[in-house]
């Protein structure tokens, strides 16, 4: 099966939309192949503002209606306790909210951007997709991340080279309580590094300290910008460390 065939069989689809590479291309493909598609973006304390702005821009480019669903993810104790399977409970809430609204809008098929390169065996959140019967056309059609980037570039999607981005909650160690304050500090710290030109990095929490993880090619830039980085990040963290482990 290819995407054209998928959308020939599924003419009316709802999309769980993140604003990332995969779901943006899936939205574009659905529109291109003549399906009726509506995107649903779930806004919570786990998503930084730039992700929402990217989602709006991508939906506008594709000419697809996007509905924003706001949820209070911090009112779920199973999520804020931050167990190793936190993603399972989080996706339950997110996809449950999307399914509820999509059905109200007359959509019976909900799809997401999981692709053929995604490892699903060790991702608790993937169980929710199966339980709620969410379709993953990119995976079903054997499209890998690299191929999706290539197709996105050909389509003129600005997301084609967008780095992978995990939600803000992933910066807090498993087992440590997730709070609004910790999420806001993380977003402010990462926004600052974005403003300096850093890409594809993480600012992780480690007992109240910041642990910077950046690609090897950007390590020299961290040292060049060390005074500025320390001055800004110490507004949010007691200490700032650079992680020299290879995260590639």
| CATH architecture of the domain formed by 3-161 | 3-Layer(aba) Sandwich (3.40)
- The mean per-residue pLDDT over the stretch 120-145 comes to 89
pLDDT digits (tens, 9 = 90+) for 77-118: 999 999 999 999 999 999 999 999 999 999 999 999 999 998
Mean residue pLDDT across the chain: 95
Class of domain 179-242: alpha beta
The model's confidence at residue 122, banded by pLDDT at 50, 70 and 90, is low
pLDDT digits (tens, 9 = 90+) for 5-61: 999 999 999 999 999 999 999 999 999 999 999 999 999 999 999 999 999 999 999
Domain borders along the chain are: 3-161, 179-242
pLDDT for residue 119 is more than 70: yes
How big is the CA angle at 62 (ends 44 and 103), to the nearest 5 degrees?
Answer: 55
Question: 179-242: same fold as 3-161?
Answer: no
Q: Looking at the whole model, is its pTM more than 0.75?
A: yes
């Amino acid at each position: 099966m290819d995407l054209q065939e998928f959308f020939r069989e599924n003419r009316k689809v709802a999309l769980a939309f993140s604003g990332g590479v995969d779901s943006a291309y899936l939205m574009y493909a659905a529109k291109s192949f003549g399906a009726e598609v509506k995107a649903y973006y779930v806004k919570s304390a786990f998503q930084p503002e730039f992700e929402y702005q990217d989602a709006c821009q991508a939906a506008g480019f594709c000419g697809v209606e996007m509905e924003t669903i706001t949820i209070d993810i911090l009112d779920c104790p199973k999520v804020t306790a931050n167990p190793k399977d936190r993603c399972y409970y989080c996706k339950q809430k997110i996809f449950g909210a999307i399914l509820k609204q999509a059905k109200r809008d007359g959509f019976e098929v909900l799809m997401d951007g999981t692709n053929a390169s995604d490892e699903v065996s060790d991702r608790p959140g993937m169980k929710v997709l199966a339980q709620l019967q969410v379709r993953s056309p990119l995976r079903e059609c054997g499209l890998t991340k690299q191929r999706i980037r290539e197709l996105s570039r050909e389509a003129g999607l600005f997301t084609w080279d967008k780095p992978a981005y995990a939600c803000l909650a992933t910066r807090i160690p498993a087992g440590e309580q997730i709070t609004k304050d910790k999420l806001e500090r993380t977003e402010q710290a990462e926004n600052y590094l974005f403003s300096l030109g850093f890409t594809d990095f993480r600012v992780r929490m480690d007992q109240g300290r910041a642990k910077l993880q950046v690609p090897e090619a950007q390590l020299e830039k961290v040292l060049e910008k060390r005074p500025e980085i320390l001055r800004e990040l110490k507004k949010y963290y007691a200490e700032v460390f650079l992680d020299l482990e290879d995260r590639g």
